[in-house]
Structure formats: C-alpha cells, structure tokens
Structure 1
Amino acid sequence: MKQGSSRRPKLVLYPARNASPIPGSSPADYQIYASYYGSAGGGFFGKLKVVRQTDGRLLYPYDGSDTIGPFATTAQAVAAARARGEEIINGDLLSPEL
C-alpha cells in the first residue's frame, strides 16, 4: 500500500428484506453454521444459524426457539446443533417457509 492511502473495506450485499421468497430445491441451497458456547453452570450448548441461500432468509434461530443442550462435551454440542440444522433444512424442503 502506498503511504497515505487507505484501503476501503469490501462491500457485502445481502438480499433485500422485502425480496420475494425463493424456496430451496436441495440441501445445497442452505448453509448451516454450527458452533457451541459454555455456560457458567457447566455444560455446553449448541449454537446454530441456518440460512436459505436462495433468498438470504434466516430460518434459525427464530423468536422462541429452544436451546440445544446442555451437553458434556463441545463435540456433542456441535453435533446436536448440526443435526438440528439438518432437520430444519429437511422441513423447509418439504414445506418451505415463505
């Protein structure tokens, strides 16, 4: 980089919130983000985000969604979160949330 010049951050565009819903046609049309977090009382909880990539719709978490866990290990928490994500995807493929 040259002295005095600054690099601008990349602009990431997301679909507009009022975009028409576009249902997924296969599991490849979805993205699962599975992780975990620990609690002060002990145990690990799965953390999950499921996005339908065809229209950018966030399918999980939603208001009122239950917690995933607690589990004894981080691997169990992540595996449970991933399994829940696959359930959500299969449900959306059968009956798309519009």
Structure 2
Amino acid sequence: MSQSTGRRPKLVLFPTRNVPPAAGHSKEDFQIYASYRGTSASGFFGTLKVVRKTDGRLLFPFEGADNIGPYATKAEAVEAAQLRGDEVVSGDLARPEL
C-alpha cells in the first residue's frame, strides 16, 4: 500500500544537464515564451522566459529583472514581452553570457 504525501510531481521544463555553456549563433538558437498576466482593473503585465537552446540556459527572467508593464491591453503586454525577448536574444548574440 502506497502512502500519498499530498505533493505533486515537480514540473521540469529544462532538466539540469551537465552541458558546458555554449553561445548561440543565430536567433534560432533561442526560444522566447511571451505571454501576459493581470486584469483590466490592475493592468496587464508581460511575462517572459528566454532560453538558449544550445545549453538550456535560462536567460530571462533573472533576479532583479523589472516588470514588463503595466499595459492597457493583453496584446500590448505580450508585444512588449516579445520585444524584450528579442532584446535579450540580440544582447546574448553580441555578448554571450557564459
């Protein structure tokens, strides 16, 4: 008989691997996940996750990253998040964070 601890399994989006840091060479070496959170009453904030696919490194968000928003519409928040993601990718292509 198994006992349930009430804990759910941990969702792992990018498993930890012993992969040495590897710079991206093109925009295709990155994955940008842009979305939004919030309500029309509090405003919409962009949410963003940027991952370098060559080594699985999470480039954004990072500790101390500022909020993206607030914006009046969901579309504006997602667009701002996508633009910030593009900036992160361009910055890492120019000066890779290894």
- Counterparts of 2:14 and 2:73, CA distance in 1: 36
The residue that corresponds to 1:14 in the other structure is: 15
SS at match of 2:89: helix
Aligned 8 A contact 1:36 1:78 in 2: yes
CA apart distance, 1:84: 0.1
Q: Is 1:49 the counterpart of 2:49 in the alignment?
A: yes
The residue that corresponds to 1:59 in the other structure is: 59
Q: Is 1:73 the counterpart of 2:73 in the alignment?
A: yes
CA apart distance, 1:15: 4.8
CA apart distance, 1:30: 0.2
> Cα RMSD over matched residues?
1.8
Aligned 8 A contact 1:44 1:72 in 2: yes
Structure 1: which 5+ runs fail to align?
1-11
Moved over 6 A (4+): none
CA apart distance, 1:38: 0.3
Greater CA radius of gyration, 1 or 2? Answer: 1
- Counterparts of 1:31 and 1:81, CA distance in 2: 13
Structure 2: which 5+ runs fail to align?
1-12
The residue that corresponds to 1:6 in the other structure is: none
Aligned 8 A contact 2:31 2:50 in 1: yes
Identity of aligned residues (%): 57
SS at match of 1:89: helix
